[in-house]
Amino acid sequence: MVEVNKLSPRDFKSDQEVRWCAGCGDHAVLSSVHRTMAEIGYPKEKYVVISGIGCSSRFPYYMNTYAFHTIHGRAIPIASGVKVSNPDLSVWVVTGDGDALAIGGNHFIHGARRNIDLNVILLNNQIYGLTKGQYSPTSKFGQVTKTSPYGTFEQPFRPIELVIGAQGKFFARSIDNNIQLTKDILIEAEKHKGFSLVEILQNCVIYNDKTFGAITDKEHKQDRQLILKHGEPMIFGKNQDKGIVLDGMSLKVVKLGENGITEKDLLVHDAHQANPIIHLLLGDMNYPDYPVALGVIRSVDAPVYEESLLEQIEKVKSSSPIKNFKELLYSGNTWEV
Amino acid sequence: MTEKKDTVKELNEVVIRFSGDSGDGMQLTGTLFSDTSALLGNDLATFPDYPAEIRAPQGTVGGVSGFQVHFGHSPVNTPGDYADVLVAMNPAALKANVKWVKRGGTIIIDIDSFTEKNLARAGCVKDPLNQLGFRDFNIIQAPITTLTREALKGLNMDTKSILRSKNMFALGMVYWLFHRPLEFTEKFLENKFKKIPIVIEANKIVLKAGYYYAETIEALHPSFNVAPAKIEKGFYRNINGNTATAWGLIAAAEKSKLPLFLGSYPITPASEILQELSKRRDLGVKTFQAEDEIAGISTAIGASFAGNLAVTTTSGPGLSLKTEAIGLAIITELPLVIVNVQRGGPSTGLPTKTEQSDLMQALFGRHGESPLVVLAASTPSNCFNFAFEAAKIALEHMLPVILLTDGFLANGSEPWKIPDVDKLPEITPPIVKEGTEDFQPYRRLDKSMVRGWAIPGTKGLEHRIGGLEKMAVTGAVSYVPENHQVMVNERQEKVDRVVDAIPNLEVMGDEEGDLLMIGWGGTFGHLYTAYRELKNEGYNPSFVHFNYINPLPKNTHEILKKFKKLLVFELNMGQFANYLRMKFQDLEFSQFNKVQGLPFTVVELKEKIISEIGGK
């Protein structure tokens, strides 16, 4: 399927005017996706981009590929139908925290469980933007929004917990303004065979501005983000002097050189480890106690739904005495008058 | 043997109801009797009646499982209103079914099961046998359990296995009574239990024991024969509505040269379509058991976008859940078949019972102006034709089609003349070819208003579709008020023009007169039987039956206006009658409705029509 890379990000831009608010994190993600697709190098007609409803779900209109803007919450099953029908296509889902985790929550967990080869980009801004500012399933506990004027008292979902709880095999996280990291992760997501969930922490400039400000703040971001790379020790910080160790049942931030800690004591990231416990601990790290983990947190190979289906079809075809519809009609109990 | 022949009476048609506990094997018994009768050349129709509970407590009325077969020398179009013969394996079966036996009918019971314990389980305060009018019925009190044990004394079998073959005793009795040979059933047993020879032997012994027992007891004389029907020559098989639906879809996939994709969630009474298609991996069918009804239709919409013949199957509550997604298929103009096997509603209602009460939902149950095509099958076997037709219309006109069947058609079965696959019409979807210049996703291609189907993966045809209103021709998002009107009009016109692709309505009987019987969907067999019997009795109603609901056939008004009285029969409170009133405001419609989860009886239909007509 891979062809010589001759397309540029520009080739993936549609002729439609982009209508997100100025300063919205979606612009940067769109740019990352255009670059990703150009770099992967498939011809345009191999890509299908599918979305549900929400700000993020406007995405398909800005893609010069095959694309489908569907209904609220149903992007994953619709994309599943596309991929299972034609496994040669590279199928992408763009969804948001409301679309994927509230109205589409059921489809989200079953999508992860089935392991259909979809690349799902979850733009998590912790708010409902398109409907103008109500809280979402990922809004912080206590957050004040239009529908929680006195603060919410709902526990937010953490997408990685849902993915792992649902037997998901790929989870990665990026931040909207890190276009390079997002692109690298999306390429990994495409390479991974199976359901790949990429959570992008995305700023809603109008209704939830700077909700990730503490992490993205230029001054402190290196101290508050841990960019994971498979096979490398977990080091972060402006001076590359902080690391993560396993301390009993939990993770702990340590300083290199303090209490005799050296690089050898740090956890080495193993994204391919089937056991999800460390991935879960990493994914759950949050500021201010921890840096927020970015990069590919989990990437484990497992049987892929549509491949298993095709294998089964071939197997049954080769052993069944029924080769066409006519033979089915005459199979079993028939008689002549 | 000669003596037996002397006492054979010829009958034109017979209805038998086999009933017993869920575990008594009554479905198999009924099926075996039906198969034998079909092989002898009788026309027939069958209907199973099983409890909604998978394993209701043994011996209770809730756990009674029944199977009715109607076979005849004359044409048979229904499983029959009332039974000539009832087989009741326990008191509960007798209690639940005696109301379905004709006056003068024969009731065969296993008298051994009429113990105090079983009577209590069946909730009988008094012995129901004593309450039966013995003058009204010919009651055969056969010690079936005892004689089955006796017959298998010589075999080394445990009690449980012995009792499991009781049903063969009853079947043997009925075979004698109706002069059926045992050989087809014996062959079936040999095949089915190939690996356990003792079970073959036991069942054959008991079958014969029943046969000879019936011959011996005087109460069962004379025996009867039902001569073969005049049936069109050809190869036949039995088929029920759900299998026929599944097969119609497979045939359509083959004719359109498209892969078949079914996205579905199990629901009674539609699950068998998903099950049947799941078996058909050998024909390349892709079935996707979704996490819910919405995902079922959503995966199908995705498959349709990707260029498959896409289908979703469901029953009433599921259709409700799918409504928003149906709207998406309407606005994006993607081909989609939605099969709704109707059951008793609202809500969970009567899941295992039949009804026609989803018509209005199929026609109008969506937000916005959202017309689509609605078809309705009318016999178990023509579910094949209408599933095929639904797929053909969906694919050639690029729109969703709802096919209505119902619990009665889905589970009812009848002999079906195997169709000639080569004679099925071609299906030619408007797939846009690579290299097409100036492709526009919503350009109308011809008078049918169909748009082109540009399938992902095709070079140069990349485009975007979605649920937002789109600009005519280009498909770009558009909020222009006048454009919305244009697109609403176009989508309506597209559905309306399907009328050019469907056959005219045909009248049975005179083309004008005092009374026109009007039916639609699954009530055909009962209405047609009532119509035929009335004609034979010298009455003169005419009859039309609708399979094409939206659009209605072109000549509908032309036909209806020629009758003084238009009487609409349906298993709901008058939904089709109201639809016709909306369509033809110059005409008056009367109604005959029943909402009991049961089919019409021919008797009640005839009574109603006679009361309307007055004299002959």
What pLDDT digit, counting tens, does each position of B465-489 carry? 999 999 999 999 999 999 999 999 9
Q: What is the pLDDT of residue B136?
A: 84
**What number is the average pLDDT over the span B273-290?**
98
Task: Measure A332 CA to nearest chain B CA, in Å.
Answer: 8
How far apart (Å, rounded) are the C-alpha atoms in residues B470 and B488? Answer: 10
With cut-offs at 50, 70 and 90, classify the pLDDT of residue B124. Answer: confident
Q: Give me the residue from A66, A71, A334 closest to B237, CB to CB.
A: A334
How far apart (Å, rounded) are the C-alpha atoms in residues A158 and A297? Answer: 14
Flag the least confident range among A1-5, A255-259, B490-494.
A1-5
A100 has a chain B CB within 8 A of its CB: no
A326 and B421 within 8 Å at the Cβ level: the answer is: yes
Which residue shows structure tokens 């026929």?
A: B244
Question: Does position B407 have pLDDT exceeding 50, yes or no?
Answer: yes
Q: Give me the residue from A43, A53, A107 closest to B459, CB to CB.
A: A43
Output DSSP code: residue B20.
Answer: E
Bigger pLDDT: A201 vs A2? A201
With cut-offs at 50, 70 and 90, classify the pLDDT of residue B505. Answer: very high
Question: Does position B2 have pLDDT exceeding 50, yes or no?
Answer: no
Question: Does position B25 have pLDDT exceeding 60, yes or no?
Answer: yes
A68 has a chain B CB within 8 A of its CB: yes
Question: Does position B50 have pLDDT exceeding 80, yes or no?
Answer: no
ipTM of the complex: 0.97
Q: What is the pTM of this model?
A: 0.95
**What number is the average pLDDT over the span B119-147?**
85
Q: Which residues pair with A292 in a beta bridge?
A: A225
Q: Give me the residue from B457, B459, B462 closest to A64, CB to CB.
A: B462
Strands A225-228, A292-299: parallel, antiparallel or unpaired by DSSP?
parallel
Q: What is the pLDDT of residue B8?
A: 85
Q: Both ends of chain A: CA-CA distance in Å?
A: 54
Are B443 and B451 within 8 A, CB to CB?
Answer: yes
With cut-offs at 50, 70 and 90, classify the pLDDT of residue B3. Answer: very low
CATH architecture assignment, domain A9-211: 3-Layer(aba) Sandwich (3.40)
Q: What is the pLDDT of residue B133?
A: 66
pLDDT tens profile A77-94: 999 999 999 999 999 999
Question: Does position A216 have pLDDT exceeding 70, yes or no?
Answer: yes
pLDDT tens profile B410-432: 999 999 999 999 999 999 999 99
How far apart (Å, rounded) are the C-alpha atoms in residues B457 and B440? Answer: 16
Task: Measure B169 CA to nearest chain A CA, in Å.
Answer: 24
**What number is the average pLDDT over the span B308-337?**
98
What's chain B's average pLDDT?
94
SS3 of residue B282 by DSSP: helix
Among A residues 6-25, those touching chain B with beta carbons less than 8 Å apart: 14, 16
Cβ neighbours, 10 Å, residue B500? 10
Q: What is the pLDDT of residue B55?
A: 67
Percentage of residues in chain B having pLDDT higher than 90? 90
Question: Does position B346 have pLDDT exceeding 90, yes or no?
Answer: yes
Residues of B in contact with A78 (CB under 8 A): 298-299, 301-302, 305
Residues of A in contact with B38 (CB under 8 A): 335
A85 and B302 within 8 Å at the Cβ level: the answer is: yes
Task: Measure A95 CA to nearest chain B CA, in Å.
Answer: 15
Name residues whose C-beta falls within 8 Å of residue B187's C-beta, 6 or more positions apart in sequence. Answer: none
Residue B29, CB-side half-sphere exposure with 13 Å CA sphere: 34
Q: How many CB pairs (< 8 A) connect A and B?
A: 192
Nearest residue in B to A77, CA atom: B299
Q: Give me the residue from B237, B298, B458 closest to A333, CB to CB.
A: B237
- Any idea what the Cα angle at residue A216 is, between residues A212 and A218, rounded to 5°? 150
**What number is the average pLDDT over the span A306-333?**
96
Q: Give me the residue from B238, B462, B476 closest to A333, CB to CB.
A: B238
A186: which 2 tokens?
A: 């999306």
Residues of A in contact with B282 (CB under 8 A): 316-317, 320, 322-323
Cα-based distances in Å from A175 to A238, A243, B180, B253? 18, 21, 78, 45
Q: What is the pLDDT of residue B59?
A: 87
B302 and A80 within 8 Å at the Cβ level: the answer is: yes
pLDDT tens profile A32-79: 999 999 999 999 999 999 999 999 999 999 999 999 999 999 999 999
What's chain A's average pLDDT?
96
A84 and B286 within 8 Å at the Cβ level: the answer is: yes
Identify the residue among A329, A334, A336 best suited for mutation to test binding to B, counting B beta carbons within 10 A and taking the highest: A329
Identify the residue among A7, A66, A336 best suited for mutation to test binding to B, counting B beta carbons within 10 A and taking the highest: A66
Flag the least confident range among A38-47, A210-219, B216-225.
B216-225
Q: What is the pLDDT of residue B134?
A: 64
Q: What is the pLDDT of residue B126?
A: 77
**What number is the average pLDDT over the span B61-66?**
90
B288 and A81 within 8 Å at the Cβ level: the answer is: yes
Q: Domains of chain B, with CATH numbers?
A: 5-226 (3.40.920.10), 240-423 (3.40.50.970), 513-613 (3.40.50.920)
Cα-based distances in Å from A12 to A44, A183, A192, B514? 7, 14, 22, 68
Identify the residue among A37, A49, A68, A167 best suited for mutation to test binding to B, counting B beta carbons within 10 A and taking the highest: A68
Q: What is the pLDDT of residue A220?
A: 94
- What are the contacts of B125-129 at 24+ separation with CB within 8 A? B128/B91, B128/B94, B128/B95, B128/B98, B129/B94
Q: What is the pLDDT of residue B54?
A: 65
A318 has a chain B CB within 8 A of its CB: no
Backbone φ, ψ for residue B15 (5° rounding):
-120, 125
A214 has a chain B CB within 8 A of its CB: no
Q: What is the pLDDT of residue B394?
A: 98
pLDDT tens profile A124-135: 999 999 999 999
Identify the residue among B189, B281, B337, B468 best suited for mutation to test binding to A, counting A beta carbons within 10 A and taking the highest: B281
Question: Does position B435 have pLDDT exceeding 60, yes or no?
Answer: yes
User: Rounded to an integer, what is the distance from CA A53 to the centroid of its chain?
Assistant: 17
A150 has a chain B CB within 8 A of its CB: no
**What number is the average pLDDT over the span B324-328?**
98
B299 and A337 within 8 Å at the Cβ level: the answer is: no
Q: Give me the residue from B35, B235, B294 closest to A330, CB to CB.
A: B235
With cut-offs at 50, 70 and 90, classify the pLDDT of residue B338. Answer: very high
